[in-house]
Amino acid sequence: MAIPKNSFVLIDYTIRVKETGELVDTTIEEVAKNENRYEAEKIYEPLLVIVGENRVVRGLEEHIENFGEVGKEFSIDIPPEKAYGERDPSKVKIMGMREFLRNNIIPEVGKTVEIGGQIGIVKAITGGRVLVDFNHPLAGKTLSTTYRIIKIIEDDVEKIKMLLHRRYRRIPIERFNVSIDQTKNEVVIELPREIYLDRDLQLVKALVVEEIYRYIGKYNSIVFIERYTRAVEQPKQEKIEVKEQTQQQAEQLQVQQSSSASQ
Amino acid sequence: MAIPKNSFVLIDYTIRVKETGELVDTTIEEVAKNENRYEAEKIYEPLLVIVGENRVVRGLEEHIENFGEVGKEFSIDIPPEKAYGERDPSKVKIMGMREFLRNNIIPEVGKTVEIGGQIGIVKAITGGRVLVDFNHPLAGKTLSTTYRIIKIIEDDVEKIKMLLHRRYRRIPIERFNVSIDQTKNEVVIELPREIYLDRDLQLVKALVVEEIYRYIGKYNSIVFIERYTRAVEQPKQEKIEVKEQTQQQAEQLQVQQSSSASQ
């Protein structure tokens, strides 16, 4: 059963390296826990895949598009060319020890290093020479993938909430108050207070607007609403995913703006 | 005629050093031009003084509060203790040349330098020693000030527009669409599109909210509205006071967020 482009699909998945069975990624907390790969920082919940968006490995997205079916568990092998690509031997480089020291890195075998903007893994060290593999760690691997479509989202309000939630995954989806004004053909989004002081918020809005027009279309305008009520006059400290220094920045800004007046 | 605290007063002023007549600051373009002190970057327009806010030199604010009268031109001398303070001889320091070189500064007599977070003026250089005056350049000076109250703002909508405009002085005041919803006792502020991508916007909102509650009070909530209409789907390049790299940041954010999904 094909699933058309621009569909909003929620999936659970588990990806392993086929050869070794090693867990690469999973949306299922239990799987991560059972294999001692649980990360407290991570949010375990179904992932939003917008068919055609190209955010997940190509082999997975293509399978969803061509064979996807709600509720059915699929187990597929994704070859390197539809995942992280083939290994490129020319990306394994011999580098001088001096280049590492210049970057304040002490190379050790197995260590992940960043040199000249590229990330690589130290494979061997002999005398003053360091062998570094700049291939993606999953290049050349076939990925053994299990996935299940939890739901295909049909409702525009729910789609928009998902677009917002995937930008702020720590904010529960129901905290985004989305409605459609049918007469104006307008989307109205009331944002939760916890994100008001996020320095990226304005960029996120622009990106979400772009996504709504691209994947949902049809509306004339999108309105964002932020409400400051008097009772909670001072921004609360319960900010989520907001940089720590925000309050400090606010104070600095205050000072800067004061000093730009005549005093 | 006294003007009560928290009044919103628009003034034109010209401030000079009494001793020398040197122009310190003016809101009047013609004055700046006549004395070859015109700065193309600067916005020449009446300044908002909120009585009691303490953003302008104290002597000026006190005079407005105690004697202010709309339309009348006042000429007053403001002594150092009500302007930039007396000169503090202990702020004139002898420093080693080495400290400058360590900060990549080549000291020259008359040059303004920043050392250890403090701004000073190089007064003399002898051998390896540099004499720096860290007093404010206007410390110890009596300021000869002429000012005129253009208007006292009574209308809350206009007050709020002024609070917004002074944060974004390049945005004409009428571009801020402010209204009061009497039934909800709520201020509704629709922001102009030019500032949507300003990275400081969220901080500015929080500061303006705080100012509205502090100087105007009486409302229960303040709502900000930003509208993205389809015709101008892509953020225009006509941003004002917005850092150049914003688009680039948007793209980086896009990339980062993509890579945090499974690919």
B56·A263 Cβ contact <8 A: yes
What ipTM, to 2 d.p.?
0.73
Amino acid at B86: E
B262·A233 Cβ contact <8 A: no
pLDDT value, residue A231 = 65
Is the separation of the CB atoms in B149 and B64 below 8 Å?
yes
- A196 → closest Cβ in B200, B202, B220: B202
Query: So what's the architecture of A89-133 in CATH?
Result: Beta Barrel (2.40)
B213 neighbourhood in chain A, CB within 8 Å: 230, 233
Q: What is the DSSP letter of A70?
A: B
Distance CA B23, CA B17 (A): 7
Distance CA A233, CA A250 (A): 15
3-state secondary structure of A252: helix
pLDDT value, residue B213 = 94
**pLDDT tens-digit profile of A134-175?**
999 999 999 999 999 999 999 999 999 999 999 999 999 999
- B55 → closest Cβ in A221, A229, A261: A261
For B219, name the nearest residue in chain A, comparing CA atoms only. Answer: A230
**Domain residue spans of chain B:** 1-85+140-154, 89-133, 155-244
- Higher-pLDDT residue of A256 and A77 is A77
3-state secondary structure of A74: strand
pLDDT band at A117 (very low <50, low <70, confident <90, very high): confident
pLDDT value, residue B101 = 86
- B199 → closest Cβ in A25, A167, A199: A199
A205·B226 Cβ contact <8 A: yes
pLDDT value, residue B245 = 43
What is the dihedral sign for C-alpha B100, B105, B110, B113? negative
A220·B230 Cβ contact <8 A: yes
Mean local confidence (pLDDT), A226-234: 74
B206 neighbourhood in chain A, CB within 8 Å: 196-197, 228, 235, 250
pLDDT value, residue A239 = 45
**Cα B238 to chain center, whole Å?**
22
Q: Can you point out the beta strands (E) in chain A?
A: 8-17, 23-26, 47-50, 73-78, 92-96, 112-115, 118-126, 129-133, 143-153, 177-181, 186-190, 221-229
Mean pLDDT rounded to a whole number for chain A: 88
Preferred mutation among B190, B230, B253 to probe A, highest tally of A CBs within 10 A? B230
pLDDT band at A103 (very low <50, low <70, confident <90, very high): confident
Q: Residue B131: which of B140, B139, B121 has the closest Cα?
A: B121
pLDDT value, residue A20 = 96
Task: Give the CA-trace dihedral at B189, B197, A6, A166, to 10 degrees.
Answer: -90
Distance CA A117, CA A78 (A): 28
- pLDDT tens for chain B, 263 residues: list them: 689 999 999 999 999 999 999 999 999 999 999 999 999 999 999 999 999 999 999 999 999 999 999 999 999 999 999 999 999 999 999 999 888 888 888 889 999 998 888 899 999 998 889 999 999 999 999 999 999 999 999 999 999 999 999 999 999 999 999 999 999 999 999 999 999 989 899 999 999 999 999 999 889 999 999 999 986 444 544 444 444 444 445 445 544 444 444 43
3-state secondary structure of A139: coil
Residue A57 has pLDDT above 60, yes or no: yes
- Higher-pLDDT residue of A127 and A169 is A169
pLDDT value, residue A47 = 97
- B202 → closest Cβ in A47, A198, A221: A198
B254·A201 Cβ contact <8 A: no
pLDDT value, residue B260 = 41
A219 neighbourhood in chain B, CB within 8 Å: 230
Mean local confidence (pLDDT), A185-204: 93
CATH number assigned to the domain covering B1-85+140-154: 3.10.50.40
B227 neighbourhood in chain A, CB within 8 Å: 221-224
- A202 → closest Cβ in B199, B219, B254: B199
CATH number assigned to the domain covering A155-244: 3.30.70.2210
Mean local confidence (pLDDT), A186-203: 93
SS (H, E, C) chain B: CCCCCCCEEEEEEEEEECCCCCEEEECCHHHHHHCCCCCCCCCCCCEEEECCCCCCCHHHHHHHHHHCCECCEEEEEECHHHCCCCCCHHHEEEEEHHHHHHCCCCCCCCCEEEECCEEEEEEEEECCEEEEECCCCCCCCCEEEEEEEEEEECCHHHHHHHHHHHHCCCCCHHHCEEEEECCCCEEEEECCHHHCCCCCHHHHHHHHHHHHHHHHCCCCEEEEEEEEEHHHCCCCCCCCCCCCCHHHHHHHHHHHHHHHCCC
Contacts of A219 (CB under 8 A, 6+ apart): A180, A185, A186, A187, A212, A213, B230
Residue A219: CB atoms within 10 A of its CB come to 20
B229 neighbourhood in chain A, CB within 8 Å: 220-221
Rounded to 5 degrees, what angle do the CA atoms B178, B181, B184 make?
A: 140
pLDDT value, residue B242 = 43
For A27, name the nearest residue in chain B, comparing CA atoms only. Answer: B262
pLDDT value, residue A258 = 41
- Tokens 């100087």 locate to B215
Chain A to chain B Cβ contacts (< 8 Å): 129
For B11, name the nearest residue in chain A, comparing CA atoms only. Answer: A262
pLDDT value, residue B98 = 87
**pLDDT tens-digit profile of B172-185?**
999 999 999 999 99
B44 neighbourhood in chain A, CB within 8 Å: none
pLDDT value, residue B231 = 66
**pLDDT tens-digit profile of A1-54?**
689 999 999 999 999 999 999 999 999 999 999 999 999 999 999 999 999 999
- Tokens 């677009």 locate to A163
Residue A241 has pLDDT above 90, yes or no: no
B219 neighbourhood in chain A, CB within 8 Å: 230
B57·A249 Cβ contact <8 A: no
CATH number assigned to the domain covering A1-85+141-154: 3.10.50.40
